[in-house]
C-alpha cells in the first residue's frame, strides 16, 4: 500500500474539494480554462492528467545538477526555482492520476558502482514562458535548455520518473517539520541522482564527480534571463510503462 504523508493526504482532500467546485476557507481557488488552481502557483488539468507549476529561471550558464529546486537550496546548479513545496507537487501528481515509486540511487560496492534506477510513472517535463523579445509565448521540452559539455550536444530526454522522494521516519524528523524529504532538500526535478528527488531521470547519474564527471551544462543563449517567470508543465508519457527500477548494465566500474 502506498505510504502517503498525512499532510499530503490533507492537501489532496482540499484539492478534491476545489476540483469538485466546492468552496473551502483554506484554499485559494481559481479556474482558468481547463486548469484548476489548487494552491498558489500550482494547478492541475484532470482530463489530460497534467500539473502546472509556477517557477522562475535562475541560471543562465554553468554546470547543472537540478532542473527545478526550492528556494535557498540548489539555485547555483539548477535551471529553475519554485516556491511551491515538493510535497504539494506530489499531491497534485497523485490527483492527476500519476503513481509514484521510489527515487533512483547509487552505491559503491568494492571497485564497482551499482546504479539503481528510479521506479514510478513516466512524466514529460515542458516549459512555457514569454519570449524576451516580446514575440509571444514559447513552449518547449526542458531538454532544450540542457547541453553536453564537450560538444554542445542535446540532452537525450524530456522524460522523468515520479519517484516521489522519501518519507522520513518519526525519529528522523525535527519538530513539526514535514516528513517529506524533498521539502527539506529542495530536490524537485533532479538531473544528477541525489536519491531524494520528487522526479528523477530514468537513468542514474551519480552526484559524485569522482564517480562520474559532470557533463551537462546550461545551453547558453537559449534559456530565458534569470528571474523570468516560467510555467513547468508535467504531463503523462502516452504509452509508456512505469519505470521498473531495473536497468541492464546497472553496474559500472568505479
Nearest to 198 by CA among 185, 206, 207, 188: 188
Handedness of CA 118, 124, 128, 133 (dihedral sign): positive
Per-residue tens of pLDDT for the chain, all 254 residues: 344 555 555 555 555 554 455 433 333 334 457 899 999 999 999 999 999 999 999 999 999 999 999 999 999 999 999 999 999 999 999 999 999 999 998 877 777 888 889 999 999 999 999 998 889 999 999 999 999 998 888 898 999 999 999 888 766 555 566 789 999 999 999 999 999 999 999 999 886 666 667 689 999 989 999 999 999 999 999 888 888 776 544 444 54
Contacts of 124 (CB under 8 A, 6+ apart): 141, 158, 159, 160, 234, 235, 236, 237
The pTM for the full model equals 0.83
Amino acid at each position: 500500500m502506498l505510504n502517503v504523508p498525512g499532510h499530503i493526504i490533507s492537501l489532496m482532500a482540499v484539492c478534491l474539494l476545489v476540483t469538485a467546485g466546492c468552496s473551502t476557507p483554506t484554499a485559494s481557488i481559481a479556474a482558468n480554462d481547463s486548469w484548476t488552481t489548487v494552491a498558489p502557483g500550482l494547478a492541475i488539468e484532470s482530463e489530460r492528467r497534467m500539473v502546472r507549476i509556477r517557477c522562475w529561471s535562475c541560471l543562465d550558464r554553468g554546470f547543472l545538477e537540478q532542473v527545478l529546486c526550492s528556494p535557498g537550496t540548489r539555485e547555483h546548479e539548477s535551471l529553475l526555482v519554485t516556491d511551491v513545496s515538493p510535497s504539494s507537487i506530489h499531491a497534485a501528481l497523485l490527483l492527476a492520476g500519476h503513481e509514484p515509486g521510489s527515487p533512483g540511487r547509487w552505491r559503491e560496492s568494492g571497485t564497482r558502482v551499482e546504479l539503481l534506477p528510479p521506479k514510478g510513472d513516466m512524466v514529460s517535463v515542458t516549459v512555457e514562458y514569454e519570449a524576451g523579445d516580446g514575440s509571444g509565448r514559447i513552449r518547449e521540452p526542458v531538454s532544450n535548455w540542457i547541453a553536453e559539455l564537450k560538444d554542445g550536444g542535446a540532452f537525450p530526454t524530456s522524460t522523468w520518473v515520479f519517484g516521489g522522494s522519501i518519507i522520513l521516519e518519526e525519529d528522523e524528523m525535527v519538530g513539526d517539520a514535514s516528513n517529506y524529504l524533498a521539502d527539506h532538500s529542495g530536490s524537485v526535478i533532479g538531473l544528477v541522482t541525489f536519491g531524494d528527488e520528487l522526479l528523477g531521470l530514468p537513468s542514474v547519474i551519480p552526484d559524485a564527480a569522482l564517480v562520474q564527471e559532470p557533463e551537462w551544462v546550461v545551453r547558453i543563449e537559449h534559456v530565458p534571463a534569470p528571474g523570468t517567470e516560467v510555467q513547468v508543465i508535467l504531463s503523462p508519457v502516452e504509452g509508456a510503462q512505469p519505470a521498473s527500477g531495473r536497468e541492464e548494465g546497472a553496474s559500472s566500474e568505479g
